[in-house]
Amino acid sequence: MSQPVKNYLRHCSEYHQIVLSSETEKARQLAVVGDTDIVVGMEFQISKGVFVILPPPSIQKDSYQNIMYDIEHLARRYFERAQRRIPVIDAPDWLSGYLVKRAAELGSQIEKLREEKSVFDRIAYVLYGSGDELEECVALLLEHIGLKVDRQPRGANIDLKANNAKLGVRFAIEVTGTKGIIRKDSNKISQVWQHIHEIQGTEGTKDKIVIVANTECHLPPNQRSQTSFSSNVVDLLERNEVLLISTLQLYTLWKAIFDGVKNVEDVILHLYEISGLYKE
């Protein structure tokens, strides 16, 4: 049995179910629990078929993405072997010692490319994700624009703390993914409001409070509303110097930095200095 499958199955006490799924345009997300946006399965297009992964019941959130991507990689490898009419078996570990040098070099290059692609895929998750996975991928994106990011304990009013020591800036970030827009009665607004009161009167450099929202996450970005926040939320939080930004806007900034169009330090300082709705 291959190592990715072993890693997957060690989180299962028993085999639970098989799901058959027709082709779908919605990438990866297979099903959610009610209106919670908690993903309970992932699907990947492989040629003309769909490969379905169900997460084991005891899987931990910090290993979820890696295990799923390893399983997907294994499925693609088996599929490619089948297309070449090579028997679908896992190569033994000792085989690498018998391969020609070029084969080893190619294997190393493929693995590095797969890891690099995995990072890009996880960053792109901010465009359609929700829950803890969205929070993790926003943290990854922020790290790739030059911030040191610390996850906050579960139950804290803020999800992430981030800073850039060189620029002397700090951020307190709340992350949310929802099928609607952010309104005043959202629990995220309550949490941010509590954090504002907690830090009132504190000395030293203040954290810039930011709400990062992936609103209407079930829709493609070009079908979403023009604003992710209701007008009364904008009025309330702009007065308290809170920055409101969508995951699409944050992703677009990361792309501009990655492509060399924007300077990373200029972007970080701009985010720290502005309040209210982020505008391009």
**DSSP assignment letter at 182:** B
Quote the DSSP letter at residue 22. -
Domains belonging to the chain, first-starting first, are: 3-127 (no CATH), 132-277 (3.40.1350.10)
CA angle 27, 29, 33 (to 5 degrees): 160
User: What are the Cα distances from residue 158, in Å, to 115, 195, 237, 272?
Assistant: 30, 7, 15, 17
- pTM, 2 dp: 0.67
- The type of residue at 2 is S
Each residue's pLDDT tens digit in the chain (280 positions)? 456 666 655 655 443 333 333 333 444 444 444 444 444 556 666 566 666 666 665 666 566 666 767 767 766 666 666 555 555 456 777 887 888 999 889 988 998 998 999 999 999 999 999 888 999 999 999 999 999 999 998 888 889 999 999 999 999 999 999 999 999 888 888 888 888 877 765 665 588 999 999 999 999 999 998 889 999 999 989 998 999 999 999 999 999 999 999 999 999 999 999 999 998 7
Nearest residue to 27 (alpha-carbon basis) of 176, 127, 175, 132: 127
The residues, ordered by sequence, that sit 6+ positions from 245 with a Cβ below 8 Å of its Cβ are: 210, 211, 212, 213, 271, 278
Q: What are 46's strand-pairing partners?
A: 49
